[in-house]
């Protein structure tokens, strides 16, 4: 009998909550391990695509439907009808991976509790964007944490943690794509501990707390004039592939996808932006220049800098130099 044929062979009744592709790996590993996933809670479908005419289902929903699992998509997690429906599943345990904030009536429902998977080594990087901020801050080590939910966000007692390295040039997207496998393994091991009664919880050390706030327009601006080269490069890769950092070039927004350090530290010391108007654009940081590699200018597609300059005159916005 293969793993998928063995599904529902374990007695523990689990409700899984999650939405994006990151969460699919965790749901998959529980399903293939034979756990009884009595329901999957995910975000409602939304309209998207060109003209917002395409119905978009969450990655978790598509996976769950493909496996014949029961799917609920509540708009309001406090609605009495949803609460009663949730209670009817008689779940022993709820597992949350990349879902929204839960009201107490939901997370406090199952007798074994509700456990969340967080993409950091709590109490570091509590908040909505832990992977992004770890990369932005130049961390070399990050990890994943499973913890039991309570009132305050990301403050519950820790069950398990696993660490992973962040490469010096890795983007948030690349860290994310590796982390989902580590997260899934931790989710499985956490459920196994809860199931066999060996789970031991440890309170978080509040003196070690750092935060990972939601990414907004105001905290994703590339303030390169007040950053070192390393800080600017970390900021760029930390916001890649989404939402991308930005600065203003004239009256339009320039988003930066990739950049590298430049040897132009001795050139145009009075200029914030230098270019040859053909092949490169460099921004002056506190201790040198960064050279943009791939950008997205407002109203245009993503492109290499040379391709962009082939159809754009940067002279009004930069000091022109020859290297």
Tokens of 134: 């770890």
Per DSSP, 270 falls in state T
Closest CA to 284 of 274, 294, 297: 274
Query: Looking at the predicted structure, is the pLDDT value of residue 5 above 60?
Result: no
How do residues 12-27 score in pLDDT, each as one tens digit?
999 999 999 999 999 9
DSSP characters for 90-139? Answer: --SEEEEES--PPPHHHHT-STT-EEEEESSSTTTTEES-HHHHHHHTT-
Residue 104 neighbours by CB distance under 10 Å:
11
Domains of the chain with bracketed CATH: 13-212 (3.40.50.170), 224-320 (3.10.25.10)
Share of the chain above pLDDT 70, in %: 95
Specify the pTM: 0.93
Q: Which of 12-21, 41-50, 68-77, 200-209 has the lowest mean pLDDT?
A: 41-50
Report pLDDT for 1.
31
């Amino acid at each position: 009998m293969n793993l998928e044929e063995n599904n529902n062979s374990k007695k523990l009744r689990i409700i899984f909550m999650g939405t994006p592709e990151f969460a699919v790996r965790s749901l998959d590993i529980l399903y293939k391990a034979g756990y009884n996933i009595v329901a999957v809670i995910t975000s409602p479908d939304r309209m998207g695509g060109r003209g917002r005419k395409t119905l978009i289902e969450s990655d978790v929903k598509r996976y769950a439907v493909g496996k014949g699992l029961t799917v609920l998509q509540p708009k309001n997690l406090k609605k009495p009808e949803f609460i009663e429906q949730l209670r009817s599943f008689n779940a022993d345990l709820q597992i949350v991976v990349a879902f929204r904030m839960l009201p107490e009536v939901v997370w406090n429902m199952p007798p074994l509790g509700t456990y969340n998977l967080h993409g950091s080594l709590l109490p570091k990087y509590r908040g909505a964007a832990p992977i992004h901020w770890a990369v932005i801050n130049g961390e070399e080590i990050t990890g994943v944490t499973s913890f039991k939910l309570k009132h305050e966000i990301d403050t519950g007692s820790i069950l398990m943690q696993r660490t992973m390295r962040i490469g010096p040039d890795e983007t948030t997207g690349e860290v994310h794509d590796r982390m989902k496998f580590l997260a899934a393994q931790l989710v499985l091991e956490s459920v196994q501990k809860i199931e066999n009664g060996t789970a031991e919880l440890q309170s978080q050390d509040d003196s070690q707390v750092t935060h990972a706030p939601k990414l907004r327009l105001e905290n994703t601006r590339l303030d390169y004039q007040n950053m070192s080269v390393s800080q600017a490069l970390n900021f760029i890769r930390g916001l890649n592939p989404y939402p991308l950092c930005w600065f203003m070039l004239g009256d339009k927004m320039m988003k930066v996808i990739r950049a590298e350090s430049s040897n132009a530290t001795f050139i145009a010391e009075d200029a914030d932006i230098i270019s040859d108007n053909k092949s490169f654009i460099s921004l002056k940081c506190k201790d040198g220049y960064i050279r943009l590699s791939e950008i997205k200018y407002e109203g245009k597609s993503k492109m290499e800098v040379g391709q962009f300059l082939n159809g754009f005159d940067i002279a009004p916005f930069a000091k022109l130099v020859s290297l």
